Amino acid sequence: MLKMRLKKRLRHWLMSEKDLSLEADRLQWFSVEYENAISEILNYAEYMKETSTEPLISFTAQVIEEKGQRLLRVSRAFCLLQKYKP
């Protein structure tokens, strides 16, 4: 029962549009946290690609790097669209 009430309150807080500055703050926080996490993964993949002598590891790191960059571009575009959402 308590868990249901907490979920309901959290959903209400996340979906409320009463304070647009609060929504912008949440979006900014999400954007920064997400970009930091993806950047760390990309940096590690680049490190693996440059230091590894095994072709399979280098190839896997290259795939991770390419897909991570694509994911980063998509997330930036999403956050930008949400920022200017009417």
Note whether residue 14 is domain-resident.
no
Query: pLDDT grade, residue 33 (50/70/90)?
Result: confident
**Residue 14 · residue 44 · CB < 8 Å:** no
Identify the DSSP state of 18. S
**Residue 18 · residue 30 · CB < 8 Å:** no
Q: What is the mean pLDDT of residues 48-74?
A: 92
Note whether residue 8 is domain-resident.
no
The domain tally of the chain equals 1
Closest CA to 31 of 86, 73, 85: 73
Q: Tell me what pLDDT residue 34 has.
A: 86
Q: Tell me what pLDDT residue 81 has.
A: 82
**Domain boundaries, position 30:** 19-83
Q: Tell me what pLDDT residue 65 has.
A: 93
Note whether residue 6 is domain-resident.
no
Query: ∠12-18-19 over CA atoms, to 5°?
Result: 110
Rounded to 10 degrees, the C-alpha dihedral 67/73/78/79 comes to 120
Note whether residue 32 is domain-resident.
yes
Asked if residue 22 has pLDDT above 80, the reply is: no
